[in-house]
């Protein structure tokens, strides 16, 4: 008999703290509304089109011939079958689910239902479901957890299944994946004949928590905790597994188990290492387990990992992982701009992790980073028209970096699409007698506090400006706490309740204002968040950014593009006292652009390579646009970190 139940019984089980609302509880407008509409009408179909064009349905559907090489890329290369294709379909189904919640689309729903039925035909009688091991490499299941994504694939299909159930009410895929999860419970454990392992690419942990919450079945939460607890224990499972395959542990391509964050037990980890996306997925699962089980033993590791990332390894855009080699971390303060990898999936998964760090309670340290990663490093991964995608996200380009139509490893397109389409679930948090507002965006949320339904209508043009109005509606007066984030980037916030000013000093903790009162229908909370243009400077150990500044207004980081400023962007030099004015960029959907006076150094083509005299400068007007919107117009250079005159 496996040990999952025994592990679970050892944990303290308080009532759950803050959980995010499900997607069907929040209707989003404002800044994200048009983006969700684009995902619903364009991107959701585009993802399915390109998955099928790549041959994914051929790999999944047992009624189709075995797949072969299929999809051409923009560099004229092709891609063959992939072990992680189930994950891409899972995320695409999740995106489609959110699209269907946004607006009915019978054609899209029929397409998803057809894919679900293909999975139903593929599933083994015992519940096993993985197209790679059933169609491409039969007989090798559970033999290479380190490299081959079996549980990772299951995780994304589980998340797609839960989303599809919430959005449409259809249980077909969720029942399929619950059967698979039950099979995994039978296979994994520390008992005789069971596998005491875990996935080389974490993800299934957070997916199992979502399945447990949706079904109310404790065994899925217990399995998530099992995978978290087993990771990195000695003797190392991946070494034993490799030996069974006839391989030496020292033959591992990446050399160290730091790549998979399994180099030591998770509670002992203090530094973010290895593959960036795997890291943030693991920490997301750890945070979920900590919240669901009241497991405080995970918190020291989670807090230290968070501080190590945000204090020494996070790009100003909220991206992380500078290296192409391991798609992840190298050494502290290694934050190059032009060669930054900063995978879109890394910023997306950082949003996941930050959101889950809010489980114990509101804390601006996490919500501010969630917002930074969401609006900048993640959102840049999707073009404004919803059809092309960034995989890498540099902070400087000479003009040759552009979005992909598709990718050999198409993990990022559905990942950013599902995040944008489900952004309403990140805006709020629910607890027994508390509601938290983590993000500001026009929305209507149907939440619960103090045992009653609470409707919150949020009106705002944020991030265009910082005025936010929240109207509370409930059937009868009730007492609960409403927590409001006071953004760390803002030098000043004022709050009024029913036009009466609130003393922020008396009610603020961890960057949130807590309003605990008896609420009645029609109560109005108004925030006025100062949103000046800030010039950010990097830590002295970030060599690439010295003598330079990054522009930020509200949650948005800005960049210069050749389309507005001409070529040779490194010749731009900001003046210390230059004022900025805001103008709408109509060719970027009305995004707020920043205009300022600066200088430009002469960039003549002739003359010696090195010289003693300083280059001449001329006055110039520059225009900066939000980083998320770059590469949506004419191709050209891009620059985030701008030179600034000394003494500024």
What count of other Cβ atoms lies within 10 Å of the Cβ of residue 609? 4
238 closest CA partner among 142, 310, 317? 142
What is the 3-class SS of 591-633, one letter each residue?
A: EEEEEEEEEEECCCCCCCCCCCCCCCEEEEEEEEEEHHHCCCC
End-to-end C-alpha distance for the chain, whole angstroms: 67
DSSP string covering 305-370, please?
Answer: HHHHHHHHS--TTS----BTTTTB--STT---STT----HHHHHHHHHHHHHHTSSS--HHHHHHH
Q: Which residues contact 291 (CB under 8 A, 6 or more apart)?
A: 16, 17, 18, 19, 356, 359, 360
- 249-253, Cβ contacts within 8 angstroms, sequence gap of 24 or more: 252/146
pLDDT in tens, 414-449: 999 999 999 999 999 999 999 999 999 999 999 999
**Averaged pLDDT of the chain:** 93
Q: Which structure tokens are listed for 4?
A: 């999952």
Q: What angle do CA 248, 249, 253 make, to 5 degrees?
A: 100
Query: In the chain, what are the domain boundaries?
Result: 4-428, 432-529, 535-644
Q: Which structure tokens are listed for 403?
A: 């979005």
Quickly tell me which residue has 């009466």 as its tokens.
500
Count helices and strands in the chain by DSSP H and E runs: 20, 22
Its CATH architecture, for the domain 432-529, is Sandwich (2.60)
| CB contact at 8 A, 474 and 519 | yes
Under the banding of pLDDT at 50, 70 and 90, the label for residue 80 is low
Q: Which residues contact 522 (CB under 8 A, 6 or more apart)?
A: 471, 472, 473
Phi, psi of 72 (to 5 degrees): -85, 145
Assess whether the previous peptide bond of 169 is cis (omega < 30° from 0): no
Q: Which structure tokens are listed for 304?
A: 């230290």
Query: Which fold, 4-428?
Result: Glycosyltransferase (1.50.10)
309 closest CA partner among 288, 327, 332, 325? 332
Assess whether pLDDT exceeds 80 at residue 79. no
Q: Please tell me which residue in 51, 199, 411, 559 is annotated as part of the active site.
A: 411
Quickly tell me which residue has 């990097």 as its tokens.
538
pLDDT of residue 68: 53
Instruction: Report the share of the chain in percent with pLDDT over 70.
Output: 95
Assess whether pLDDT exceeds 60 at residue 6. no
Q: Please tell me which residue in 203, 258, 327, 434 is annotated as part of the active site.
A: 327
pLDDT of residue 178: 98
Q: Is 441 designated active site? A: no
Q: Is 327 designated active site? A: yes
Q: Which structure tokens are listed for 409?
A: 């490893």
Q: Which helix (H) or strand (E) holds 536?
A: strand 533-536
Assess whether pLDDT exceeds 90 at residue 8. no
Segment 537-555 mean pLDDT: 97
pLDDT of residue 647: 65
151 closest CA partner among 224, 79, 250, 102? 224
Under the banding of pLDDT at 50, 70 and 90, the label for residue 2 is very low
pTM: 0.95
């Amino acid at each position: 008999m496996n040990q999952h139940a025994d592990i679970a019984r050892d944990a303290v089980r308080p009532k759950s703290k803050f959980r995010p609302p499900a997607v069907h509880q929040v209707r989003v407008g404002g800044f994200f509304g048009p983006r969700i509409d684009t995902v619903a009408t364009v991107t959701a179909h585009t993802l399915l089109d390109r998955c099928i064009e790549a041959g994914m349905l051929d790999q999944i559907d047992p009624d189709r011939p075995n797949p072969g090489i299929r999809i051409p890329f923009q560099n004229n290369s092709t891609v063959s079958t992939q072990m992680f294709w189930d994950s891409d379909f899972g995320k695409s189904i999740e995106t489609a689910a959110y699209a269907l919640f946004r607006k009915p689309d019978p054609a899209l729903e029929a397409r998803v239902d057809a894919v679900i039925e293909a999975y139903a035909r593929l599933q083994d009688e015992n519940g096993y479901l993985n197209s790679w091991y059933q169609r491409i490499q039969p007989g090798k299941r559970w033999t290479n957890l380190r490299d081959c994504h079996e549980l990772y694939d299951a995780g994304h299909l589980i998340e797609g299944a839960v989303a599809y159930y919430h959005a449409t009410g259809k249980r077909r895929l969720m029942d399929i994946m619950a059967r698979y999860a039950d099979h995994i419970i039978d296979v994994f454990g520390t008992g005789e004949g069971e596998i005491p392992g875990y996935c080389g690419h974490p993800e299934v942990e957070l997916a199992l928590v979502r399945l447990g919450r949706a079904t109310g079945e404790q065994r899925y939460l217990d399995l998530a905790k099992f995978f978290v607890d087993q990771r990195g224990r000695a003797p190392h499972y991946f070494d034993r597994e490799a030996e069974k395959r006839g391989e030496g542990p020292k033959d591992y391509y990446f050399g160290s188990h730091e790549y998979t964050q399994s180099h030591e037990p998770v509670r002992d980890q203090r530094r973010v290492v290895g593959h960036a996306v795997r890291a943030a997925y693991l920490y997301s699962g750890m945070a979920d387990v900590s919240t669901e089980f009241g497991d405080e033993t995970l918190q020291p590791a989670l807090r230290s990992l968070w501080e190590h990332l945000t204090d020494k390894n996070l790009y100003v855009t909220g991206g992380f992982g500078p290296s192409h080699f391991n798609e992840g971390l190298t050494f502290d303060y290694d934050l190059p701009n032009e060669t930054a990898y900063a995978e879109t999936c890394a910023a997306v998964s950082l949003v996941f992790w930050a959101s889950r760090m809010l489980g114990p309670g509101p804390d601006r340290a996490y919500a501010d980073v969630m917002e930074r990663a969401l609006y900048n490093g993640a959102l840049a991964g999707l073009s404004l028209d919803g059809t092309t995608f960034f995989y890498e996200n540099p902070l400087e380009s000479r003009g040759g970096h552009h979005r992909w139509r598709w990718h050999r490893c198409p993990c990022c397109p559905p990942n950013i699409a599902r995040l944008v389409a489900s952004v309403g679930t990140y805006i709020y948090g629910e607890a027994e007698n508390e509601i938290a507002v983590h993000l500001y965006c026009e929305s209507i949320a149907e939440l619960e506090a103090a045992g009653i339904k609470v409707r919150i209508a949020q009106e705002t043009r944020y991030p265009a400006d910082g005025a936010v109005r929240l109207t509370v509606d409930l059937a009868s007066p009730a007492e609960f706490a409403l927590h409001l984030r006071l953004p760390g980037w803002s030098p000043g916030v004022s709050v009024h309740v029913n036009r009466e000013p609130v003393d922020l000093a008396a009610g603020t903790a961890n960057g949130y204002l807590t309003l605990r009162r008896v609420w009645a229908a029609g109560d109005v909370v108004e925030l006025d968040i100062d949103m000046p243009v800030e010039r950010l400077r990097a830590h002295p150990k970030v060599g690439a950014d010295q003598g330079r500044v990054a522009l930020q207004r509200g949650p948005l980081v800005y960049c210069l593009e050749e389309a507005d400023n001409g070529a040779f962007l490194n010749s731009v030099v900001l003046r210390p006292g230059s004022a900025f004015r805001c103008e709408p960029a109509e060719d970027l959907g009305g995004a707020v652009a920043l205009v300022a006076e600066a200088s430009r150094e002469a960039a003549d083509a002739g003359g010696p390579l090195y010289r003693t005299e300083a280059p001449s400068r001329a006055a110039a007007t520059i225009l900066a646009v939000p980083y998320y919107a770059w590469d949506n117009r004419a191709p050209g250079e891009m620059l985030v970190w701008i030179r600034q005159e000394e003494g500024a």
